[in-house]
């Protein structure tokens, strides 16, 4: 683990006095959250919950949830996952010592949790020859059928993000309850917690409206059960152009916006974030079609315009709206400068980039405030 030298700590402390932009970290587990805290993050700006489901011990339960024949079977699987999720959130809240933690409800396509289709096909074919009457074959065939049903041509544009919560509200309900149980338990111990619940991939205000109500209901339920009142906020990712363009409507249902510039870059350019870098993007950069990789450095002319529009419309509808960015760009110098100029409240980046982001945020302030002064003195 890299340690920060005393001199560098001093420089960072000085940078913190100058900067106006908050710096948070993206962290999905207590270890990353601890690193973020040590590196001076002002909170967790993005806790992606999907990694928690990928845990080897949990995959069978997750598959049970997806393969469930009916609601009660699915609820049984979710009942097993709830205490595990609660533990995940307790660990992250504890590591952040009362700083705000933005937890994003489940976002990836469901089939990511399913076994590999090709391997499954080989297993089924083998069993059909060697043991055609076996229960194992029936089980694998059912699994294969489900994997095929869940398969999509464009998973990144498919049944992902809040679209999962809309179709399987019980998954988001379980996550929201786990967050509130964790918060109630730590509050009981006298600790401070600031949960911020974030809904991903919203494109229409009605998605947020429904998911927000679901989170509020879960909070009421847990508060009644535990007798603990929990302070929390609900917000959304802005990562679909339509969300940025209708940000005034969306702000009515949100306490905060976090710009997901990875997806916003994908959807604004129409480039697949999984494929573009490995296919044509390098050639584009070499041939000067693009000045740089827009997935690394924020494209201020296009994607940035959507961010500006989102902030402006959102704040017009709700002046108290908090705004941040949590895509890869949140840890990149020139993108951080853009975030400062756009008036965002914070950037969120990987824990190891937090020191760099603190410096870049201070540089942005100094650079632009100084310019303002120059204008005054020459006027
Ligand atoms: C984003 O899209 O910018 C984002 C932060 O979410 P994810 O990368 O998890 O899709
Ligand atoms: Mg995203």
Q: Which of 52-61, 220-229, 303-312, 349-358 has the lowest mean pLDDT?
A: 52-61
30 lines ligand 1 (CB under 6 A): no
Phi and psi of 325, rounded to 5°? -135, 140
ipTM over 0.95: yes
324 lines ligand 1 (CB under 6 A): no
Ligand 1 centroid, distance to 260 Cα (angstroms): 5
- Average pLDDT over all residues of the chain: 95
How far, in Å, CA of 24 to CA of 45, rounded? 5
Is-catalytic flag, 349?
no
Closest to 308 in 3D by CA, of 261, 270, 269, 369: 261
How far, in Å, CA of 97 to CA of 257, rounded? 23
List C-alpha distances in Å: 341 to 272, 311, 317.
Answer: 28, 12, 20
Ligand 1 centroid, distance to 326 Cα (angstroms): 7
How far, in Å, CA of 186 to CA of 93, rounded? 8
Q: pLDDT for 304-362, tens place per residue? A: 999 999 999 999 999 999 999 999 999 999 999 999 999 999 999 999 999 999 999 99
How far, in Å, CA of 321 to CA of 310, rounded? 11
pTM of this structure:
0.95
Angle between helices 71-96 and 169-188 (to 10 degrees): 40
Longest CA–CA separation in the chain, Å: 89
Residue of 47, 162, 326, 349 with catalytic role: 326
Ligand 1 centroid, distance to 262 Cα (angstroms): 5
295, two tokens: 């997935």
Cβ 44 vs Cβ 102: under 8 Å: yes
């Amino acid at each position: 683990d890299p340690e920060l030298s005393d001199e560098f700590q001093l420089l960072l402390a000085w940078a913190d006095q100058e900067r106006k932009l908050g710096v948070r970290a993206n962290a999905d587990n207590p270890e990353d959250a601890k690193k973020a805290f040590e590196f001076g993050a002002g909170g967790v700006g993005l806790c992606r919950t999907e990694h928690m489901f990928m845990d080897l011990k949990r995959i069978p339960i997750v598959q049970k949830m997806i393969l469930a024949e009916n609601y009660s079977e699915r609820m049984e699987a979710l009942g097993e996952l709830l205490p595990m999720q609660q533990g995940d959130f307790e660990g992250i809240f504890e590591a952040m010592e009362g700083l705000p933690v933005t937890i994003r409800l489940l976002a990836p396509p469901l089939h990511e949790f399913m076994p590999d289709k090709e391997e499954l096909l080989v297993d089924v074919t083998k069993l059909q020859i060697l043991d055609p009457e076996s229960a194992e074959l029936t089980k694998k065939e059912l699994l294969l059928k489900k994997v095929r049903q869940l398969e999509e041509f464009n998973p990144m544009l498919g049944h992902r993000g809040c679209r999962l919560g809309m179709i399987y509200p019980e998954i988001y309900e379980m996550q929201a309850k786990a967050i509130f149980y964790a918060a109630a338990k730590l509050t009981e111990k006298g600790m401070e917690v600031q949960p911020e619940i974030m809904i991903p991939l919203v494109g229409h205000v009605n998605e947020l409206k429904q998911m927000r109500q679901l989170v509020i209901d879960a909070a009421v339920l847990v508060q009644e059960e535990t007798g603990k009142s929990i302070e929390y906020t609900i917000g959304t990712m802005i990562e679909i152009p339509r969300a940025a363009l209708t940000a005034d409507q969306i702000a009515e249902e949100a306490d905060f916006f976090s710009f997901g510039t990875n997806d916003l870059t994908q959807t604004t350019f129409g480039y697949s974030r999984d494929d573009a870098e490995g296919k044509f993007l390098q050639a584009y950069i070499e041939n000067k079609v693009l000045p740089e990789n827009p997935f690394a450095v924020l494209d201020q002319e296009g994607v940035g315009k959507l961010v500006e529009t989102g902030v402006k419309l959102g704040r017009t509808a709700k002046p108290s709206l908090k705004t941040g960015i949590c895509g890869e760009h949140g840890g990149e110098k020139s993108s951080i400068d853009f975030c400062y100029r756009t008036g965002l409240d914070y950037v969120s980046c990987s824990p190891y980039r937090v020191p760099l982001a603190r410096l870049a945020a201070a540089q942005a302030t100094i650079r632009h405030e100084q310019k303002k002064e120059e204008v005054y003195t020459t006027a």
